[in-house]
Amino acid sequence: MNLKRGISCGISEMLSRISLSANFRTGFRVLLYHSVGTRTDLKTSGVYYVTPDLFQRHMSILKELKGISVVGFEEGNGYGDTLEVAVTFDDGFKDNLSEAVPILTELEIPFTVFVSRKHIKYDASEYLNEAELKELAAWPGATIGAHGANHLPLAPLDQSEIWHEVHDSKNYLEDLLGKPVLTMSYPFGSLNHVVRDVVEKAGYLRAACRHWGINDAYNDRLLLYRTPIHAEDTERIFIQKLKGFWDWHGRFQRDQKIYE
């Protein structure tokens, strides 16, 4: 475990110990996964993978713990008296189909995979190709969302370039899958108010950030917070994340201003 991760674990553990509430707070929490098994280098990509075994344990917790309702990314609203949790994946790794889908299907957990055209069309070594993406999209509970045409950070681009990235990726996926694509996630979590407004104009109803936090009934649906999941997230840490004891990270993210 590196120093930064060690400090994060220590602070979150301390917050969980001084918390008076044993219950989950209500709201809509969106989990962010990437690869399930393919990437294994903890040092460089701990935030980009979990092992299939760990993923299985996380998903079992979602089904077993009282006070949690598992919902699709496009459905959660933060009303109600349970914690709503959605499972999402960025980038469309091949192992999402081979490793994650069997676990999710067995447990009847809906999920959303955000994919970029560039990876699907031109990078079949690590990412789903077109045939595999179609296969994944046909599974019960699966939703495909966009993740930019070329997987570029959107905030540095000008308005027409942003439009190209978000509009073309939507059109490409709709043609390929034969159904509307109404959700997206921002590549690298890169966004500003211009990006957000172009995404709305392109016809998306929901978009996921990489900013830590839990959503309530009033959050902008095009700026939905997520909760990144890490290769070293034991059951204890996973439950801490579900309860919000890691959300303090959001306050230290560079893009905090956008959400205030």
Residues of this chain that bind Zn ion (CB under 5 A): 90-91, 187
Query: Among residues 76 and 187, whose Cβ is nearest to Zn ion?
Result: 187
Residue 144 has phi, psi (to 5 degrees) of -105, 130
CA distance 115 to 248: 28
What's the closest the beta carbon of residue 116 comes to Zn ion, in angstroms?
Answer: 7
- Minimum distance from residue 148 beta carbon to Zn ion (Å): 8
Contacts 24+ apart (CB under 8 A), 243-248: 243/16, 243/19, 243/24, 243/25, 244/25, 244/29, 244/214, 245/12, 245/13, 245/15, 245/16, 245/19, 246/8, 246/12, 246/212, 247/212, 247/213, 247/214, 248/11, 248/12, 248/15, 248/212
Q: Which is nearer to Zn ion, 91 or 165 (CB)?
A: 91
Smallest gap from Cβ 120 to Zn ion, in A, equals 12
Q: Which residues contact 209 (CB under 8 A, 6 or more apart)?
A: 185, 186, 189, 191, 223, 224, 225, 226, 255
To Zn ion, the closest distance from the beta carbon of 211 in angstroms equals 15
Q: How far is the CB of 140 from Zn ion (least distance, A)?
A: 25
| Nearer to Zn ion among residue 83 and residue 154 (C-beta) | 154
Go through 38-48 and write b for each residue having 16 or more CB atoms within 10 A of its CB, e for each that does not: bbeeeeeebbb
User: Residue 156 — φ and ψ, nearest 5°?
Assistant: -75, -10
Nearer to Zn ion, 145 or 187 (CB): 187
CB burial class (10 A; 0-12, 13-18, 19+) of residue 55? buried
Rounded Cα–Cα distance for residues 39 and 224 (Å): 26
> Rounded to the nearest whole angstrom, what is the least distance from the CB of residue 151 to Zn ion in the complex?
6
Closest approach of Zn ion to the CB of residue 156, in Å: 16
Nearer to Zn ion, 62 or 181 (CB): 181
Nearer to Zn ion, 91 or 247 (CB): 91
Residue placing its CB nearer to Zn ion in the complex, 103 or 113: 113
